[in-house]
A and B are shown apart, each in its own frame.
Chain A
Amino acid sequence: MLRLADVTKSFQGTPALHGVGFTVAPGERVALLGHNGAGKSTLMKIILGLIAADAGRISVMGAAPGSMGARAVTAYLPENAAFHPALTGLEQIRYYLRLRGEDPKGARTLLEKVGLGEAARRRIGTYSKGMRQRVGLAQALIGAPRLLVLDEPTSGLDPVSRRDFYAVLDDLAGRGAAILLSSHALTEVEARTDRIVILSGGRLMADDTLAGLRRRAALPIRLQVQARPDTADRVAARLTGTRHNGVRVDLVCGPADKLARLGEISALGALIDDVEVIPPSLEDIYSHFSQRDLP
Chain B
Amino acid sequence: MNALFAAAGTEFRIALRNRWVTVAVAMMALFALVLSAAGSAATGALGADRLSVTVASLTSLAVYLVPLIALLMSFDAIAGEVERGTLPLVLTYPVARATLLAGKFAAHLGILALAVAVGYGIAAGAALVTDPGAARGLPALWRLLWSSVALGATFLGIGYAISALARRPGAAAGAVIGLWLGVIVLFDLGLLAAVVADGGGAFTTVVFPWLLLGNPADAFRLFNLAASGATAAAAGVGGAAQAIPPALALASVLGWPVLGFGLALAAFRKVTP
A binds B: yes
A48 and B85 alpha carbons, distance in the complex (Å): 16
Known A48-B92, A72-B94, A76-B89: A101·B18 in contact at CB below 8 Å: no
Which of B17, B88, B95, B96 neighbours the largest number of chain A CB atoms within 10 Å of its CB?
B88
A82 at the interface (CB under 8 A from B): yes
With A71-B92, A96-B93, A99-B90: A51-B272 Cβ-Cβ less than 8 Å: yes
Task: Say how far B73's CB is from chain A's closest CB, in angstroms.
Answer: 14
CB distance from B258 to the nearest CB of A (A): 25
Task: Give the total of B residues in contact with A, Cβ under 8 Å.
Answer: 25
B6 within 8 A of A: yes
Is there an interface contact between B6 and A95, defined as CB atoms closer than 8 Å?
yes
Cross-chain contact A78 with B3 (CB below 8 angstroms): no
Tell whether, in the assembled complex, residue A50 and residue B272 are in contact, meaning their CB atoms are under 8 Å apart.
yes
A51 to B6, CA, bound (A): 26
Interface membership of A68, Cβ < 8 A: yes
Bound-state CA distance A26–B13 (Å) is 39
B194 contacts A by Cβ under 8 Å: no
- C-alpha gap A295/B93 in the complex (Å): 38
If A51-B272, A71-B92, A99-B93 touch, whether A84 touches B3 (CB-CB below 8 Å) is no
Of the residues B85, B86, B94, B272, contact of A71 by C-beta under 8 Å: B94
Instruction: Give the complex CA separation of A27 and B94 in angstroms.
Output: 22
Q: Which A residues lie within 8 Å of B133 (CB)?
A: none
Which bucket holds chain A's interface residue count? 20 to 34
Is the C-beta of A268 less than 8 angstroms from some C-beta in chain B? no
In the complex, how many angstroms separate the beta carbon of B16 from the nearest chain A beta carbon? 9
Q: How far is the CA of A81 from the CA of B90 in the complex (A)?
A: 11
Query: Known: A82-B84, A82-B86, A95-B6. Is A87-B93 also a contact (CB below 8 A)?
Result: no
B14 near A99: Cβ-Cβ < 8 Å: no
Smallest beta-carbon distance B167→chain A, Å? 15
CA distance A115 to B199 in the complex (A): 75
CA distance A98 to B3 in the complex (A): 6
17 residue pairs A–B, Cβ–Cβ below 8 Å: A50-B88, A50-B272, A50-B273, A71-B92, A72-B94, A74-B92, A76-B92, A82-B89, A87-B10, A87-B14, A91-B13, A95-B6, A99-B90, A99-B93, A100-B93, A136-B89, A139-B89
Closest 3 CB pairs of A and B: A98-B6, A82-B85, A86-B17
